Amino acid sequence: MSAVSRTSAMLVAALLAACATTALGKAPEPVTAIVGVTVIHPERAADAAVAKNSTVIIVGNRIETVGPSETTRLPAGATVIDGKGKWVVPGLVDSHIHFFQSGNLYTRPDVADFRRWMPYKEEVARNQARLPTTFKVWLASGVTSVVDVGGPFWNFEIRDTARRNPAAPRVAVAGPLLSTIDDSPLDLGDPPIIKVTTTDEARALVRRELERKPDFIKFWFIYDKGDDLTAREAIVKAAADAAHAAGVRFAVHATELAVAKAALRAGADYLVHSVEDEPIDAEFIALARGRHALYCPTLFVLMGYDYALSGTWEATEAEQRLADPEILGAMHDLKRIPKELIPERLTKRMNERKPVALPLVAMQNLRKVWDAGIPVAMGTDAGNIGTLHGPAVFREMELMREAGLTPLEVLRSATVNGALALGMERDLGAIAPGKLADLVILDADPLADVANLSRASRVFKDGKSFVPADLIRSLQ
Ligand SMILES: [Zn+2]
C-alpha cells in the first residue's frame, strides 16, 4: 500500500470512528445495576459456582461488570435493581423445540388423529398466528433462547420474526426433517418431514435448505426391525457430508443404541434425543466423544403424550402460571370431543388407565453420558402433545434431577451447554463481563431445588428487561 493510500485509509477510518461516536453519543446506552444479588456461575465447579452479595452491571445489551457489591462502583445514572435475597442465572436455553407444534391434542395427527374434529390446517394456522404469544411464554419461563430442530420451510420465517421482535427468545432453526419414512398426515404443502430414499435425494434436499441458511440440518433417522441399517446410514451420511461441506452442523433423531451409533458414524454433531432402548456402551461413548457430539435427553416428551392421550394430563403449578392459556384450556378436550370422533386406539388407552411410566433407560443413560464428559443440552421437544412451550422446561429439568444430575449440573446443561447448541458459546451461557445480557433474576435458590428456576421475577434478553407476570398478563 502506498503512503498516500495509507493516509487516506487512516482518514476514512478516523471519519468512520467519529460517526460511530456521534451516533452513540446521541443515544446513550441504558445502564442497569443488579446490586446485592447471589450470582450463580454454572460454568464453574460446584465449590466456586456461588458468588453472594454481587453486583452485575449491564450496559446496552452486554454484561459489563460482575463483582463484589462492596467494591463495585455504580455508574452514574444506572437503573438500580435491589438483588438482596435474589439469585441470578444465565438465561435458559431449550435446545430442542418445534414452533410448528403447539403441545395440544391436534398438533400431531400422524400420532393421534383428531382431524375429523379439528382440521390440521386450522391447528397449524393457529400456531402461526399465535407466534407472538408463544415467544412471550418462552421469555416468561426464563428461556431466552430456543433451538427449533425441525419444521416446515416457514420455520426460517419464524427465526426472522423472532429477530425483529424484542419480546422473543433468540431462535436457531433447522428446516424440514430429512427422513427415512413418509409422514403424510403432516403435509399441507410445506411438510415438516420429507422422505429421502437415495443419497442424491438427501443431498438435493440439503442444498434446498442451505439456501435458507439453517443453523442445523436435521435427519429423522427412523429404523424398524428388518430395515437395512447400513443402506440407511449411507443416506444419512450423504446428508451429513453435504451439511458439513457448507459448515452447517448436523442434528439427528436416533433413539435406539444401534441407530444412534450409526448416526454418529454418519457424522451427527447433535443427538436430539436420549438413547432409550438399552444402556449406552463404550463404543457409543467413543463415537460421541470422537465427534464432540452434543446430547439432548428430552426425558419428558413421551410421558407428555401418555398423559395427554390417556386423559390424565394435569398442568403443573408452573404451567398454570406460565403456559399459553389457550393451550392450557385445550388440554382437556378429550372430554369434549364426541366419542365417535376419537380414534379407537385412544379410547382403549384411556380405558386401560395404565399409569404413565418414567423413561428409566433414558434416565440411566443420562447420568452415564454426563459422566463420560459428553456435553448434555437441556431440551424438551416442546410442541409435542403434552409438552407445552415455555414451562415444560421445568418438567424436563426435574426429571434430569431425578436421573441423578445435581441442580448445578442441570443448570449447566440449560445454560453453558445450551449456548453450545446455539453455537453461541462465546456470547452466552455465563454471567461474565462481555457476555450478552441474557439473564434471569430468581426469587428462590435454584441450587436448593431446580423447581426454583421457575421463580423468575425478571428476565433480561439482549439487555431488555421483562417481568414474567406482565408478559403473561399481556397475552390475548
Ligand atoms: Zn423434536
pLDDT tens digit sequence for 313-357: 999 999 999 999 999 999 999 889 998 898 888 888 788 888 899
C-alpha dist (Å) from residue 455 to 369, 389, 473:
29, 17, 16
Residue 382 alpha carbon to ligand 1 centre in Å:
8
Ligand 1 center to residue 31 CA distance, Å? 38
Measured in angstroms, how far is the CA atom of residue 353 from the centroid of ligand 1?
27
Q: How far is the CA of 98 from the centre of ligand 1 (A)?
A: 6
Instruction: Judge contact between 319 and 95, C-beta under 8 A.
Output: no
Q: How far is the CA of 220 from the centre of ligand 1 (A)?
A: 9
Q: What is the pLDDT of residues 403-441, one digit of tens each?
A: 999 999 999 999 999 999 999 999 999 999 999 999 999
Give 472 Cα–ligand 1 centroid separation in angstroms. Answer: 25
Distance 68 CA to ligand 1 centre (A): 42
CA triple 59-60-64, angle to 5 deg? 30
pLDDT above 70: percentage of residues in the chain: 95
User: SS3 of 400, please?
Assistant: helix
What pLDDT, on a 0 to 100 scale, did the predictor assign at position 6? 47
Mean pLDDT computed over 115-119:
93
Ligand 1 centroid from CA 252, angstroms: 10
CA–centroid distance, 205 to ligand 1, in Å, is 19
Q: Cα angle at 130 between 455 and 463, to 5 degrees? A: 45
First to last CA, the chain: 61
Q: What percent of the chain has pLDDT over 90?
A: 86
**Cell matching residue 287:** 463415537
CA–centroid distance, residue 383 to ligand 1 (Å): 8
Calculate how far, in angstroms, residue 276's C-alpha sits from the geometric centre of ligand 1.
Answer: 15
Please state at what angle helix 344-352 crosses helix 301-309, rounded to 10 degrees: 90
Handedness of CA 330, 273, 131, 411 (dihedral sign): positive
Distance 80 CA to ligand 1 centre (A): 40
Taking the centre of ligand 1 as the mean of its atom positions, its distance from the CA of residue 464, in whole angstroms, is 29
CA of 286 to the centre of ligand 1 (A): 25
pTM, two decimal places: 0.93
Question: What is the 389 CA–ligand 1 centroid distance (Å)?
Answer: 12
Quick one: pLDDT band at residue 41, thresholds 50, 70, 90? very high
Q: Mean pLDDT score of the chain, rounded to an integer?
A: 93
Contact call for residues 430 and 66 (beta carbons, < 8 A): no
The predicted-structure confidence for 158-187, as pLDDT tens digits, reads as follows 999 999 999 999 999 999 999 988 888 888
Cβ atoms 456, 465 nearer than 8 A:
no
State mean pLDDT over 117-127.
Answer: 95
For residue 465, report the distance from its CA to the centre of ligand 1, in Å.
30
Q: How far is the CA of 381 from the centre of ligand 1 (A)?
A: 5
CA–centroid distance, residue 195 to ligand 1 (Å): 16
Note the pLDDT tens digit of each residue in 282-318: 999 999 999 999 999 999 999 999 999 999 999 999 9
If you measure from the C-alpha of residue 87 to the centroid of ligand 1, how many angstroms do you get, rounded to a whole number?
Answer: 31
Quote the ligand 1 centre to 151 CA distance (angstroms).
9
Cα(22) to ligand 1 centroid in Å equals 47
Backbone angles phi, psi at 273, to 5 degrees: -140, 170
